[in-house]
Structure 1
Amino acid sequence: MCGRFVDPNLQSMGLDTSWLKIDPFKNWDRRYNVKPTQDMIILTPDLEPMVARWRLIPSWHKGELRDWKATTFNARIEEAASKPSFRSVWNKGRCLLPLSGYYEWKGEKGNKQPYFIQSAGNEENLFVAGLASKWNETLTCTMLTRAANNTVSDIHHRMPVILNTSEREAWLQGENDIDLGASIKLKHHQVRKFGIRDEGEEIIEAKD
């Protein structure tokens, strides 16, 4: 499960950055403690940047926003195609979620240690497989997860589906291989414990 992440460095997207001239992204304040239900940047299949609320609400939900209680900010890639909350957008709601890293916690309940997890390569930003759903007038999204590979399994048994360059295109074009993201190389370090409202670059600094 991934429940917190750091915004991407918009100057290092590895893509055509001409879209940064388009509001509201050129003045986007980078955040280091993004939580479910907050807005995030997503990339559509044609790499158009949009803003979506991080916690997918399926289009068929008839209640109020506050009535949706399911923890749909993550979706297991092994199950999403058949899950009622996700199956309607499995083929038509593909997107990428750019981020520069994410957090996981390890240890006993009440004394868990946070870790910051990021790319082990030269590319600063990570691109995660996602699904987007339009509910009423609100665009919402979820982050796909998979079984952790050996670069992060000592921290948590799950990880986001982080795609390499060829996998990004394949995902957006409809690839259904649940092994996507298996080869990504990550690194991690301990960070100081932080609260839900804490913010700033110091959050990702290595713990002394």
Structure 2
Amino acid sequence: MCGRIIDPNLRDTEVEFSRTKIHPITQRRYNVKPTDVIQVLAKEPLELMTARWWLIPSWFDGDDPKHWKATTFNARFEEAKDKPSFRQVWRHGRCLIPVGGFYEWTGPKGYRHPHVFSSAGNEENLYLAGLASRWRDLLTCTILTREANEDMRAIHDRMPVVLNANEREAWLGGSDDVTLGAGARLEHYPVRPFGMRDEGPELIEREG
């Protein structure tokens, strides 16, 4: 769940992040996959940082990121605080992960069809609940997921935890409220199938 995302557009965006020092993205990506470097917002006041999208806990004693074999690019919201991989950062590593949207697929294996999900509101970006862990000198992160709401359920039974402005503050402040993200308003439409290495704004053009 949530295995491909779209880079956010962080130029001249929401008022609550107006004090954040934003470094422009040189080339916006439309097919960002786990293990790629993405942007996260953390600390107080919020600071924009980059992190490898696939969390590695700080206690892991390997000497190469590839040696961490657990699938930790997503974490189930209702379970993460009790899982060894996420327990520490649940308390001390909360972050927001801004995205321009994300993809989900329908159909049987071999005939999977992508849909792109984006904000149905006034904000251009979605702000996802995330956890960040510094392993050695590398900042890594995961995207939290929850049970799908009515805007997502027809496509998939899970969805990212998409936070509104009030929920972002609550999440960063330490809330464990399992209803966070339940009211997210999303829109989606089908797009043409694309490959793992395909890139460009044409990936989000409506099919048909």
Which band: TM-score by shorter chain?
A: over 0.9
- After TM superposition, the runs of 4+ consecutive aligned structure 1 residues lying more than 4 A away are none
Paired residue for 1:160? 160
Amino acid at match of 1:2: C
Paired residue for 1:174? 174
Number of residues of Structure 1 aligned to a counterpart in Structure 2: 204
Q: Aligned partners of 1:155, 1:206: CA distance in 2, in Å?
A: 16
Paired residue for 2:18? 16
* Structure 1: stretches of 5+ with no match in the other structure: none
Do structure 1's residue 40 and structure 2's residue 38 form an aligned pair? Answer: yes
Give the SS at the match of 1:195: coil
Using a 3 Å threshold, how does the CA distance of structure 1 residues 204 and 58 change in structure 2: closer, same or farther? Answer: same
CA contact (8 A) 1:11 1:17 kept: no
Amino acid at match of 1:69: K
- 1:47-105 Cα offsets, whole Å, 9 max, x none, are 10000000000001111321111110000000000001000110100000000100000
Q: Aligned partners of 1:28, 1:70: CA distance in 2, in Å?
A: 31
Identity %: 57
Q: CA RMSD in A?
A: 1.1
Q: Aligned partners of 2:175, 2:20: CA distance in 1, in Å?
A: 28
Q: CA deviation at 1:13?
A: 3.0
Using a 3 Å threshold, how does the CA distance of structure 1 residues 202 and 179 change in structure 2: closer, same or farther? Answer: same
Q: Aligned partners of 1:49, 1:42: CA distance in 2, in Å?
A: 6
* Structure 2: stretches of 5+ with no match in the other structure: none
Amino acid at match of 2:37: D
TM-score, length basis structure 1: 0.95
Q: Aligned partners of 1:192, 1:177: CA distance in 2, in Å?
A: 37
Paired residue for 1:49? 48
